Amino acid sequence: MNTAVRRTATVVLSGGLLLTASPLAAPAAAATPIPSISAKGAFMVDQADGKAIYGKANTTRRQMASTTKVTTAIVVLTTPGVDLNRKVTIKQEYRDYVVRNGASTADLRTGDKLTVRQLLSAMMLPSGSDAAYALADTFGTGTTTAARTKSFISKMNAKAKQLGLTNTMYDSFDGISAAGYNYTTPPELAKMARHAFSSAVFRDIVKATSYKTTATTSTGATRTYTWYNTNKLLGSYSGAVGIKTGTGTAAGPCLVFAATRGTKTYVGVVLNAPDRFNDAAKLLDFGFGSTTASTMELRSLPSGAQRD
């Protein structure tokens, strides 16, 4: 590789687009073309050292929809002494919340007992807001459900503060925000995702295209749950290993993504991205110096599976 390619390059284009290519972002023969993407905001980093590979509209705050659940998950997983086998009983109010908000759901049944680990999969794969509610209710503090979920959201904001995220705010445990105070910027969401991806349990959860498990019902019977991952980049882009979709009226289609090839892992974000999966593939190609996006065929979700 010649020295011109090995040096880190920073290119500023019209419209304030900042692109930063790492020394390993381009193939040896020639620099990979800077991708054109549909996303209004985007960012991608090297998981190993946090080096920026690509950025677009880096300082613009945007709603992030269900990619919020990345933070919900890592707040749970970094709770001191967390017991992933702890059983949680599903309340009717979790189901009512989903119906009331038209939210994506893991179709958790009232009275069923699921472990924290199962609830994390129920939240991250089919984007179950019922599972997010259950986790917030379980890991918050207070004497009422409202107090506990409010407490949990405070923990999410404390996590953002801990990471130095000054343009990130949560008013929701799942991304449904009536007031709109649930926002981030592409670099800050990428930093949160990189932090979450450092957890082996988190990585194991978000890489699965589907998850089948059983739970005990209120009558002592066994119920089988099967959840499909709404992230269609998995099983479509070579090396894709996560992370989370999100879609909202204000947020538009969003995606937090990750892929590993050899010893290199990239973590990225696209916000308000009509063509989010292809956007992610193009950005990953930019990092890996490949052309996978041009031939990628997206994995289909089974009939009846959640979309997010």
Q: Which residues are catalytic?
A: 66, 69, 127
Asked whether the beta carbons of 293 and 285 are under 8 A apart, the reply is yes
Long-range Cβ contact pairs of 27-35 (< 8 A, separation 24 or more): 27/289, 27/290, 28/1, 28/289, 30/5, 31/5, 32/285, 32/286, 32/289, 33/286, 34/286, 35/279, 35/282, 35/283, 35/285, 35/286, 35/293
299 is written with which tokens? 């994995």
The rounded distance, in Å, linking the Cα atoms of 204 and 226 is 16
Distances in whole angstroms, Cα of residue 64 to Cα of each of 110, 134, 148? 29, 21, 23
Q: For residue 289, is it left (φ>0), alpha (ψ between -120 and 50) or beta?
A: left
Q: Which residues lie across from 223 on neighbouring strands? A: 215
As beta bridge partners, residue 248 has 252
Query: Is-contact 122 76, C-beta < 8 A?
Result: no
